[in-house]
Copies of this chain bind each other. A is one copy, B any other.
Amino acid sequence: MTSRRFRLIAPPTTPFHSDGALNLDAVEPMAQLLLDTSVDGVFVAGSTGEGQSLSTDERMKSAERWIEVAAGTDLEVIVQVGHNSLTDAVALAAHAQRIGADSIAASSPCYFKPARVEELIDFLAPVAAAAPDIPFYFYEIPPLTQVALPMVEFLTKAKPQMPNLVGLKYSNIDLMQMQQCVRMNDGEFEVLFGSDQQLLAAVALGACGAVGSTYNFAAPLYRSMLAAFDRGDHATARELQAKSVEIVAIMARYSFLSACKTLLTELGIENGSVRAPLRNLTSEQRDELLADLHEAGVFELQKELDCQSVEPSPADAS
């Protein structure tokens, strides 16, 4: 399709000990799983990483550990620094550059919500300026921030004030706007798509990369899908995307992020609980979830895929 490899970036979970403290020992095996499954990078302290539920100190420690572990590997490290407090967001950005992050991203504040693009830029410009030597992505995620400003206008007006702005982490299912962003100025901006279960759609429309929670454990599925699409085998690509939908639907039936941590723990990376206000699965729900995920073949998706072997289960009425 394109000469450049499609970037698949995983937003790692943040494992906790049973007392709720950070479990940084889990970072190394997590990184190994990602490297083993063809993931290109990590998006640290995103939504999947419960970034907004961590203290600033916890976020810094987590970023430091990821950068240590990624050093000498091919894993790119993007540190997400969005925060309701500009003071914290700026501190996180400066820290990320200092410790060697490859780039940073920041979501909009969500208590006081920018009502216009200019207000969003007023918030983000000092954040980007605190890490001036590395690229900055705006993390657009309206379902969580309840902020949905027009992105073409944002990119146009922000770029002159934020020279290191390189694109969007786009967790938004408006694919008309996505196309507009992808095409601006002959592709000046990168759009990293955030909805795994619709990735094929975004690829058809020109996205160049993706960040999504299921790339933590199922990247080979998507690599196969991308390859099928590139060779024009649309039927296979569609089948593989349907498998992704099936997995996401199972996990969404439970508490999604708790399901994610439960699955990773089952894969050998001790994740512990999610932090409130997210809800943890009961042990019964955990057993049911794992049974469902086994039946869906999720535990086969960490190795090289033989495309023929993946066949979605019949859709169920979730």
Residue of B nearest to A318 (CB): B152
Residues of B within 8 A of A87 (CB): 53-55, 58
Residue of A180, A197, A232, A277 contacting most chain B CB atoms (<10 Å): A277
Residues of B within 8 A of A112 (CB): 47, 50, 52-53, 144, 277-278
Contact with B along A284-318 (1 / 0, CB 8 A): 00000000000000000000000000001011111
Does the CB pair B119–A277 fall under 8 Å? yes
Does the CB pair A277–B123 fall under 8 Å? yes
Report the minimal beta-carbon distance from A285 to chain B, rounded to whole angstroms. Answer: 14
Residue of B nearest to A203 (CB): B204
Does the CB pair A109–B200 fall under 8 Å? no
Bound CA span A121–B156, Å:
36
Whether, in the assembled complex, A94 has its beta carbon less than 8 Å from a beta carbon of chain B, the answer is: no
> A52-B85, A174-B173 are contacts. A200–B204 as well, Cβ < 8 Å?
yes
> A52-B84, A55-B85, A176-B197 are contacts. A205–B276 as well, Cβ < 8 Å?
no
Q: Is the interface on chain A under 10, 10 to 19, 20 to 34, or 35 or more residues? A: 35 or more
Does the CB pair B110–A315 fall under 8 Å? no
Residues of B within 8 A of A206 (CB): 238
Does the CB pair A279–B122 fall under 8 Å? yes
Report the minimal beta-carbon distance from A8 to chain B, rounded to whole angstroms. Answer: 18
Bound CA span A275–B118, Å:
14
Does the CB pair B175–A315 fall under 8 Å? no
Does the CB pair A53–B84 fall under 8 Å? yes
Contact with B along A152-168 (1 / 0, CB 8 A): 11001000000000000
Does the CB pair A85–B53 fall under 8 Å? yes
Bound CA span A202–B202, Å:
10
> A1-B234, A312-B183 are contacts. A241–B53 as well, Cβ < 8 Å?
no
Whether, in the assembled complex, A237 has its beta carbon less than 8 Å from a beta carbon of chain B, the answer is: yes
Does the CB pair A86–B275 fall under 8 Å? yes
Q: Which of A63-71, A129-137, A214-222, A242-250 contacts B (4 or more CB under 8 A)?
A: A242-250
Whether, in the assembled complex, A120 has its beta carbon less than 8 Å from a beta carbon of chain B, the answer is: yes
Does the CB pair B317–A113 fall under 8 Å? no
Whether, in the assembled complex, A184 has its beta carbon less than 8 Å from a beta carbon of chain B, the answer is: yes
Residues of B within 8 A of A108 (CB): 277
Whether, in the assembled complex, A32 has its beta carbon less than 8 Å from a beta carbon of chain B, the answer is: no
Interface residues of A (CB under 8 A from B): 1, 47, 50, 52-56, 58, 84-88, 91, 108-114, 116, 118-120, 122-123, 126, 144-146, 150, 152-153, 156, 173-176, 179-180, 183-185, 195, 197-198, 200-206, 229, 231-232, 234-235, 237-238, 241-242, 245, 248-249, 275-279, 312, 314-318
**Can you list 7 A-B contacts (CB < 8 A)?**
A47-B111, A55-B85, A114-B277, A116-B279, A119-B276, A176-B245, A205-B241
